[in-house]
Structure formats: C-alpha cells, structure tokens
Amino acid sequence: MRDTAKRAYRSAARVARTAAARTRTAPALTRKAAAHTRTAAVRVTDRAREAARAARRRWRAAAPQQRQTARLTAASAALGLVVALVTVAAAGPWDSGQRTAERVRAARQEGGSGGDHTRPGTDSYPMAPQVLAAAGPLPKRAAGEGGPRTDARGRGGTRPDQLPPPTASALADTLEPLIEDGSLGAVRHASVVDAVTGRQLFSRDAEAVSAPASTVKLATAVAALTARGDTYRIATRAVGKGDRVTLVGGGDPTLTERDLATMAERTARALDKRDVHEVGLGYDTSRYTGTDRHVIGPNENLARVTPLMVEEGRTDNSHHGPAPRAADPALEAAKIFARELADEGVTVEGTPEERRAPEGAAELAVHRSATLGALVERMLTHSDNDLAEALARQTALAQGEPASFRGAGRAVRHTLKELGLPLKGARFADGSGLDRADRVSPVLLTRLLTLAADPDRPKLRPVLTGLPVAGFTGTLGDRYGGERGEPGAGLVRAKTGTLTGVNTLAGTVVDADGRMLAFAFMTTGASGRDAAQQSLDRLASALANCGCRDSPSTG
C-alpha cells in the first residue's frame, strides 16, 4: 500500500512540475489556461499526498498478522513473476536457438524462398550464432573441417559461455543399439561430429563410401554456392537480330509462364521501337552439352535436363514432387513465349525452331531467377531433382567445364577438393542422387554440414536453412508424426535420401545440452523403405534428445 501511494505521489509531482514549466514558457494569451492547469495539478498532488498519508496510517494501525499477510502476498506475486520468466526462458526462443526458429519458419507458409526459410524480398541468411549453439574458445583447425574458427587471439567465433560437448562413449552407448536394427539392411555407415569444433564423436565405417541417394544434394549445394556465390541469378534472355527473335535458355528450371509473359511484353516494346511487328522465333539450348536424358530414363522424378523449361516441364501445375513431364520442355517453353508475343501484338511466323542465337543479336528482354541461395534452399527442402541437376551444371559453367552430367561431376569434385574435403572414393555421377553410381562417405556429408555452419562462410548458410524440418517441412513433413509423436519433431533438420534398397539421412540437431551436432546415417540393403526410414528417424531423434556426456559404460 505504501509503495502504491508513493508511486501515485511521484506521478502527480511530475505532472505538477511539467505544468509549472509550461506555465513559465507560455505566451500571455495562454497564461489563464496555464493557471487552470497548475491549479488542477496542485489538486492532484494534494490528493496523492493525502492518499499516501492515509495508506501510512492504515499500515501503522494494521495488526501484525495483517502486515504479515500483505508481505506474503507481495512476495508470492514477485515469486510468481520470477517463475514465469524462468519458464519462458527455458521454453522460449532460448531453448536451443535452432528449434524456435525452425518451428516458426516451418509453420509459416509465406512466399519466401526454399521451404519458406528466408523472408520474401531478402537475400540474407541466418548468421552462425543463429544456427550454432554457443561455443567458447575453440582450437584452430585444418581446412575443410568447418565449424567456427578462432581469431588471431584464439577467441571463439560465437558466445563466450561454454556448452559441454557430448562424449564419444555416451554417444556410442546411445546409438549402437539403434544402428544394429535389422531393418536398416546389411550396409550401415554413420558419422556424428560436433558442428562447433568439427571433432568426430561417433563413427561406424565413417570413411567408407556407398550410394547416398538424395543426400548427394548437399555436395551439389556446397559446390554451387562456392563456385557461383549465393547471390548469383540465372538469366533467361530474348535476343533479336533483324526480324529474328531467339529465346536463350540459361539453365533456370523455375522459369514460369508469368515470367515469359513479362519477357514477351518487354520484347514487344523493343520490337515496336524498331518498327518490327512480324518475327520468326527460335530457341537456344546450347548452354548445356551432352545428353539431356538421365540414366533413369523418362521419369516423373526428373524432366529432360535442358537449360530452357517452364516449371521444370511439369504438366499438372504442381511445384514439387513427382509429376508428369513435357516430352520436350524447351519446345514447350518456346511455344508459350510465342503465344505471349502474339498477345502483345507481335505476329510469330510458323513454329518455334531450335537454333543458336545469331552473333551480334541485341538483348530485348531478360528474366533473372531467384538467388542461388534461394534455389539451394528450395532444392534441399523438397529434394528437387531438376534444380539439383541445374545447380550442378552452374558449377560446371563456373569452373569452365562442359555443362553435362560428366562435366558437372568433375566440377563438383574439383570445387569440393579446393575446400579441403575428404573425397577418397567419392563419385558424382549426377547432381541429384538418382544415379546409383554416386558414391560418398558419411564423413564427407558431415564435413559439408559443418563447413556450412562455419561463421566465416555465410554464403553457405542456405545449406543449413534449406534442410527439411522434421514433422514440418519438405521431405520430412510427413515423418516424425503419428499419434504418439516423435521426440525429434521440430528438432531434427536433415536431408533425406531414398532409392530402392537405399535409405540415408544427413543433417543437424541441437542436443539436450544445447550443442549442435552434424550427423550422417547411410544404409543399403533394407528390405522395406518405411521401416528403414523409421529406424533412421529414431537415430536422429536420439541425438536430439541426448545429453550424451555421462556414459553408463564408464561407471
């Protein structure tokens, strides 16, 4: 009561002082109004003083028991506030740094890039402190190890408060029984590393290579971001010479009909300035070389690999996942462009023809894709095979290699070698992982992830932000669910990989102690896909919910 009265008195006094100050500076015509204000302020002050004196009288007159009750009530209210703050601190955005961001971004379906991990209209990605657990002073490491580095004074790259890393023995006790699950098949390779330091914490033939399926997209992503940069945009152009217009594919599989409509409008304006209203239309796919057919042949998982296509050649208005595809995506794109030109008043003679753009042709219109960082996010979130092959060819173009399956494989390997990554036995037959000839090791996958977590490499951050979130987004959206719920839902962030008999999972978790771990589990020979995936999910969930410091086997 006394505190309440005092606060009221102080507030009234402030009002009075403010009124007095205004009175001194008021012009003559407003002095009368100021006087009324001052009188009102004095009345408020007098009432506050009287309320304070009354409160003090009641306090003095109160019995000891009543005073004790008042003290206990105030103390309980204060304690309740403290408990509430502690609870919020434990479960709020500080519960790991990663999990709250995952839940919010995964559940929010806005028009951002990838799996809605990046805000619309931005080209920036979370910096390391937002996706890394707190570290503290860290030792310097060799190239390719990833994770935060120290500065010249030996200081760590994140917050100074040290979080305890897991112990190898505790992780072994947790993971070994799960990795022995018979549903995983005969070949079982695994790697778990501390994403902060790059230190190996668990290994099961971690350097042995096997078919990665779609987890090879992690290598494709890192290579493309390194070779091109995260802000690079793929250009589709319309060029003209005389009465000939050519649509030139640059390798953007996300091109839409709306994009072509905009290009047609600009092209028509440019032609009108030249007094050209009737044209022959060609389309140029020479940016890629070699076969445009993957070894799996015509398939709903992948269109013909061409630098010119609309919405990945999909014919069912879908945006990701298996879908029927156009027999000739480049020709279909050119036909759409011809229709849009006609709508703009330009007469197109005959059917579009495939031909190279003539030398000296002037640019009439250009469309640029989303940034490479956004394309990487989309590729990883939805395991987009068409984007993966396109990004592998962008790596080839940047490295001076032919933009073909073979040239892209060489370029990816060369780029990763320059980063100092372990490539013994690795083979990149394609960019998507659909080719069973692909070979990588678990240790390579975890090194790719820790490299993307390196604060010194912010351009690689889309590799982490694009990973599907368990139970929420992309290829993990329908996993870690069910009536009983899975402990890894919202906590596991990982790239999936599935072919017949091949099941893989590679990504990151923040364990129960708040330490960020990178993992890769690779299996071959499983008889059932669903059972194998559930076993892999249990392995990742065990990491997410394990403190993994005190091993029972060490007493």
User: What whole-number distance in Å separates Cα of residue 243 and Cα of residue 267?
Assistant: 12
User: What whole-number distance in Å separates Cα of residue 90 and Cα of residue 192?
Assistant: 26
- Whether 191 is a known active-site residue: answer no
- Whether 551 is a known active-site residue: answer no
- Whether 217 is a known active-site residue: answer yes
User: What whole-number distance in Å separates Cα of residue 417 and Cα of residue 392?
Assistant: 15
SS3 content of the chain, % helix, strand, coil (to 5): 45, 15, 40
Residue 420 and residue 448 in contact, taking contact as beta carbons nearer than 8 Å: no
**Residue corresponding to tokens 């999972």:** 505
Residue 519 and residue 181 in contact, taking contact as beta carbons nearer than 8 Å: no
C-alpha closest to that of 443 among 209, 168, 165: 209
Q: What phi and psi, each to the nearest 5 degrees, are found at residue 519?
A: -140, 160
Rg of the chain over Cα atoms, rounded to whole angstroms, equals 32
Maximum pairwise Cα distance, the chain: 103
**Residue corresponding to tokens 């090791």:** 441
219: alpha, beta or left? (left if phi > 0; alpha if psi -120 to 50): alpha
Q: Which residues pair with 187 in a beta bridge?
A: 524
Identify the active-site residue in 113, 383, 441, 541. Answer: 383
Q: Are strands 347-354 and 362-371 parallel, antiparallel or unpaired?
A: unpaired
Identify the active-site residue in 214, 369, 404, 541. Answer: 214
DSSP one-letter code for 77: H
Element (H, E) at 508: strand 502-510
User: How far is C-alpha 466 from the chain's CA centre?
Assistant: 3
Residue positions annotated with a catalytic role = 214, 217, 383
